[in-house]
Amino acid sequence: MDAMPIYLDHAATSPLRPEVLAAYAAALPLVGNPSSIHGHGQAARELLEQGRDRVAASLGADPAEVVLTGGGTEAVNLGIKGLFWAARRTDSHRTRIIVPLAEHHATIDSVEWLAAQEGAVLDWVEVDELGRIRLDALEAALAVGGDEVALVTALWANNEVGTLQPVAEIVAAASRYGVPVHLDAIAAYGSVPIDFHASGAAALSVSAHKIGGPVGVGALLLARSATVEPLLHGGNQQRARSGTQDAAGASAFGVAAELATANLAEHAARLAELRDRLVRGILSTVPGATLRGDPDPAGRLPGNAHVTFAGCEGDSLLFLLDVAGFSVSTGSACQAGVPEASHVLLAMGLSEADARGALRFTLGPDTTADEIDALLTVLPGVVEQARSAGLAERQPTLGR
């Protein structure tokens, strides 16, 4: 029997942990709408609230601040659109949204929709060569926008290159202008400490499947002092969100949240050690390989190694590694089957040619040193093969 492929794409989704799967399987057959007042409904409500309590505890929030959603994308949409609509309802002049250039597409597509459909004015803030927001550019945007700024939205950590963002400074700058901040912490959750209350943010988005929970479950943390207009209307089952609540999903999310944060320092240290082993190995054995994001290990997510390979197409590298038994990511968008250079890398100042040769390796709880060494054994040959194929494609065809 062929060996199972080695999975190094935890930033895309991290496999269900056994304890989470057991809790999810046990909860799924239970009958009862959590909003019903009979015994079955109240049993479901108890299960739901236990999950909410665990999610809140893992993020330094109160349970009442946890709005359970259908995933991270919904949480981001609710946070951004909800804060924008609420600000504009209070003051019609508040139409500006400040957003860094290297955000996840859930943010980019949300703010661009608001610009196209709701009259939002987007102030794009530059990032530096490491993918970190330029605080001077943020300050300038806040000063220019003045009392027209509805919100600032930013990542806690860049989902592609892994660079940690100066969250405290972002929130402090916005607070000086009385502007609420939404933080997308989906990539950071379970990798670095997150304290919602200490952050001072108005809203914060997370997702279960990035930390070994089920797909289709997420949460928006909404400060007691913050107000959002809901995306969904119906039964007002939650603050800012209508819809029958998923008790089984909440239960599984709660278990995943507790596991992901219970020994976070030890988990992060182990991942960082494996990440550094991988980075050292790549840079020492593969000519033309360049680490992207913050080279300081303390300035990036512990399980993220984002590398560009000169003279290669990321999709070719991805395919060759897949054939060799390794699942990784390019970290670039692909629309309608046409590969595109990562907007994150372009915002960091890379040329399109350099940006196209990217691979993102992301490690998880079950990643081992043997798996890292196995990748390092095959990667130089894979890169050489990809470069040779690319060179052959670029050779001019001789006419008759």
pLDDT tens digits for range 114-147 = 999 999 999 999 999 999 999 999 999 999 999 9
Residue 173 lies in a domain: yes
CATH number at residue 245: 3.40.640.10
Cα–Cα distance, 182 to 149 (Å, whole number): 13
Domain count, the chain: 2
Say what the pTM is: 0.94
What is the pLDDT at residue 389? Answer: 80
CATH number at residue 366: 3.90.1150.10
Asked if residue 296 has pLDDT above 60, the reply is yes
What is the pLDDT at residue 326? Answer: 98
Is the dihedral angle over the CA atoms 336, 341, 342, 344 positive or is it negative? negative
Q: Kind and range of the H or E element at 123?
A: strand 121-125
What is the pLDDT at residue 331? Answer: 76
Residues 344 and 240 in one domain: no
Asked if residue 285 has pLDDT above 90, the reply is yes
What is the pLDDT at residue 340? Answer: 82
Residues 308 and 355 in one domain: yes
**Mean pLDDT on 268-282:** 98
**Mean pLDDT on 325-353:** 82
Asked if residue 273 has pLDDT above 80, the reply is yes
Residues 256 and 294 in one domain: no
Residue 124 lies in a domain: yes
Cα–Cα distance, 173 to 175 (Å, whole number): 5
Range of the domain at 121: 18-262
Cα–Cα distance, 137 to 134 (Å, whole number): 5
pLDDT band at 81 (very low <50, low <70, confident <90, very high): very high
Range in 171-175, 276-280, 334-338 the model is least confident about: 334-338
Residues 125 and 52 in one domain: yes
What is the pLDDT at residue 1? Answer: 43
Catalytic positions are 334
Per the model's pLDDT, the better-predicted residue between 218 and 332 turns out to be: 218
Residues 63 and 147 in one domain: yes
What is the pLDDT at residue 394? Answer: 56
What is the pLDDT at residue 398? Answer: 42
What is the pLDDT at residue 399? Answer: 41
What is the pLDDT at residue 400? Answer: 32
Q: Are 257 and 213 a contacting pair, CB within 8 Å?
A: yes
Residue-wise pLDDT tens digits, 230-244: 999 999 999 999 999
Mean of the per-residue pLDDT values for the chain?
94
DSSP β-bridge partners for residue 183: 154, 204
Asked if residue 373 has pLDDT above 60, the reply is yes
What is the pLDDT at residue 393? Answer: 59
Query: What residues contact 157, with CB distance under 8 A and at least 6 apart?
Result: 163, 164, 165, 185, 187, 188, 191, 192, 300, 301
Domain boundary among 206, 237, 262: 262
What is the pLDDT at residue 338? Answer: 52
Question: Beta 218-222 vs 203-207: how paired, if at all?
Answer: antiparallel
Residue 352 lies in a domain: yes
Please report, rounded to a whole number, the percentage of residues in the chain having pLDDT higher than 90.
93
Q: From residue 57, how far is each of 61, 62, 73, 88, 195 by CA, in Å?
A: 6, 7, 22, 32, 9
What is the pLDDT at residue 3? Answer: 72
- For 317, the 3-state DSSP assignment is helix
Residues 161 and 231 in one domain: yes
